[in-house]
Amino acid sequence: MTFEHLTPESRGGRTVRSNLWLACSQCNAFKSNLVRARDPESGRLVRLFNPRRQIWSAHFRWIESGLRIEGRTPTGRATVAALRLNREVRIMARRLWISAGWHPPSD
């Protein structure tokens, strides 16, 4: 796990608590310095999900018994695609977490 800058330093983001979030190193690498990404459904460029300002369940939901994340909104869909939240290694981890009773998390 690493600390992610929600607004990247390269885009003027500061290293302060309100701009930091814990993320896996791969998700952080995929995010890079992005603050926007394309919604795969509409093709529009939209802001990525900000966990400090937005409610997860308004933008995402668990599908396939908690194995995959589905975006409910343009922001949700763009975030899932840009951060590759449903890549195979994540699904394998979620499968293990489900069998241990650790997943999916409650809201």
Determine, yes or no, domain membership for 88. yes
Determine, yes or no, domain membership for 14. no
Which tens digit of pLDDT belongs to each residue from 46-70? Answer: 999 999 999 999 999 999 999 999 9
What range defines the domain where residue 77 resides? 33-99
Which tens digit of pLDDT belongs to each residue from 18-46? Answer: 989 898 888 889 999 999 999 999 999 99
Q: Is 30 exposed, middle or buried (0-12, 13-18, 19+ CB in 10 A)?
A: middle
Determine, yes or no, domain membership for 28. no
**H/E stretch holding 83:** none
Determine, yes or no, domain membership for 81. yes
pTM above 0.85, yes or no: yes
Determine, yes or no, domain membership for 95. yes
Determine, yes or no, domain membership for 104. no
Which residue(s) pair with 63 in the sheet? 68
CB 61 within 8 A of CB 74: no
Determine, yes or no, domain membership for 42. yes
Domains: count for the chain: 1
Determine, yes or no, domain membership for 9. no
**H/E stretch holding 44:** none
